[in-house]
């Protein structure tokens, strides 16, 4: 590993192929200073990152590529979406979208290592693939990045060049849940017992679920990502102190990042481990909670596309939905408001017209109730979704469609 400055970066990039593929940290861990310096030197390249947030380079010559679309790439004309469950994304990187350059945002050096901090995901595989096929790995060693353990730890020998910066991390502060999100969260929380293992994403409903669980005991975390709700469970003494908190990426408040730094209770794992359905299935009372844009009468959920266009992607929802249902005592909930106020339409629909993201859940949960679906006949599934989850204004039309489908 060689330590250089941002000003020296052009001197180490002269050997790159035309239109190189660049894989970089995504979510809230983007190495902005390093990426901006790279962008100023390389006229044309493919930028691959997960859940990209602004600012990222946006100009002619830069093509976007991702398996999970974030707000910075959504609806962009240069976007190339790569359908993949997150558990399989490392396979995609290793065999199909090999990087010429890997740019990562890491902690300061700790002995002979740095840490990927709050974003692990596909990055270990990207680093390994770049080194195996002649690519270059460049680390932005950032004073603001917490040092986390597990697969986040990267040896200096795995890095070609390191540039020291001091760049604040983007933060996400939780907002108070509205009445609908709180109602959904309370219903799901009531189904979760002491000793359960949790997977929840970020947003109003997951925050509401976690907020309603602070009086539980012995909870465990095996999740794709977490935010401040898990820190609040720790403060309340609701977590099993003897079991590591396992995740693949994190974003939240500055307080959360400070708590993560050198915290051996938190184990960051590469996504092919954290999202492996077989590993998920081994967790005690595994309980998965994922959102959706629409659910139909066949218990199929669309969480990826809006009006036919890619909105986000598969993410980890298929991995955790499947893994949770295979776990002994496991549960998988799909949660959503029953009505979309902006579009003024029901989110419970007769049959999805967009591709399916997940199917076969334990229950569909809205502010109206919990519709149990797994273990029921297709007719019972449809009836429960209509009568217990759908908005009252949509039920008559849904009943008519269910009869037309031969479900009722």
Question: CA–CA separation, 231 vs 260, rounded Å?
Answer: 9
Supply the Cα-derived Rg of the chain in whole angstroms: 22
Nearest Cα residue to 347 out of 329, 359, 365: 365
SS3 287: strand
- Answer whether 290's CB lies under 8 Å from 280's CB: no
- 357 φψ region: left (φ > 0), alpha (ψ -120 to 50), beta (else): alpha
Q: Among residues 119, 224, 272, 367, which one is catalytic? A: 224
H-helix or E-strand spanning residue 81: strand 80-81
Contact present, 337 and 366 (Cβ < 8 Å): yes
- Residue 51, CB half-sphere, CA atoms under 13 Å: how many? 17
Pairwise CA distance, residues 115 & 124, whole Å: 11
Q: What angle do CA 182, 188, 191 make, to 5 degrees?
A: 145
CA 380 – CA 23 distance, rounded (Å) = 46
Tokens of residue 80, six digits: 């190339």
255: annotated active-site residue: no
The catalytic residue positions are 224
């Amino acid at each position: 590993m060689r330590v250089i400055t941002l000003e020296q970066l052009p001197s180490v990039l002269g050997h790159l192929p035309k239109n190189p593929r660049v894989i970089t940290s995504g979510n809230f861990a983007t190495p902005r200073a390093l990426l901006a310096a790279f962008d100023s030197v390389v006229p044309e390249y493919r930028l691959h990152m997960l859940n990209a947030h602004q600012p990222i380079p946006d100009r002619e010559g830069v093509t976007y590529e991702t398996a999970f679309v974030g707000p910075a790439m959504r609806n962009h004309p240069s976007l190339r979406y790569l359908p993949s469950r997150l558990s399989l994304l490392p396979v995609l990187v290793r065999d199909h979208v090999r990087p010429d350059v890997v740019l990562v945002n890491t902690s300061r050096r700790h002995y002979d290592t740095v840490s990927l901090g709050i974003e692990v995901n596909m990055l270990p595989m990207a680093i390994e693939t770049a080194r195996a096929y002649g690519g270059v790995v460049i680390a932005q060693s950032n004073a603001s990045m917490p040092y986390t353990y597990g697969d986040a730890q990267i040896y200096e020998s795995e890095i070609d060049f390191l540039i020291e910066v001091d760049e604040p991390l983007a933060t996400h502060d939780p907002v108070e849940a509205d009445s609908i999100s709180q109602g959904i969260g309370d219903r799901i929380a009531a189904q979760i017992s002491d000793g359960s293992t949790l997977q929840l994403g970020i947003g109003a409903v997951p925050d509401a679920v976690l907020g309603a669980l602070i009086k539980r005991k012995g909870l465990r975390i095996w999740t794709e990502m977490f935010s401040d709700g898990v820190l609040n469970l720790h403060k309340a003494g609701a977590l099993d102190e003897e079991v590591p908190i396992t995740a693949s990426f994190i974003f939240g408040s500055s307080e959360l990042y400070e708590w993560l730094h050198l915290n051996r209770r938190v184990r960051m794992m590469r996504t092919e481990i954290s999202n492996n359905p077989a590993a998920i299935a081994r967790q005690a009372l595994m309980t998965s909670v994922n959102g959706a844009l629409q659910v139909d009468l066949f218990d199929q959920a669309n969480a990826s596309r809006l009006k036919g266009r890619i909105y986000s992607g598969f993410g980890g929802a298929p991995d955790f939905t499947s893994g949770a249902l295979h776990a002994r005592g496991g549960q998988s909930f799909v949660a959503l408001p029953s009505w979309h106020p902006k579009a003024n339409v029901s989110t419970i629909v007769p049959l999805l017209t967009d591709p399916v993201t997940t199917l076969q859940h334990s229950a569909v949960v809205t502010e109206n109730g919990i519709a149990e679906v797994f273990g029921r006949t297709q007719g019972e599934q449809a009836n429960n979704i209509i009568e217990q989850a759908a908005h009252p204004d949509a039920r008559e039309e849904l009943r008519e469609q269910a009869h037309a489908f031969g479900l009722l």
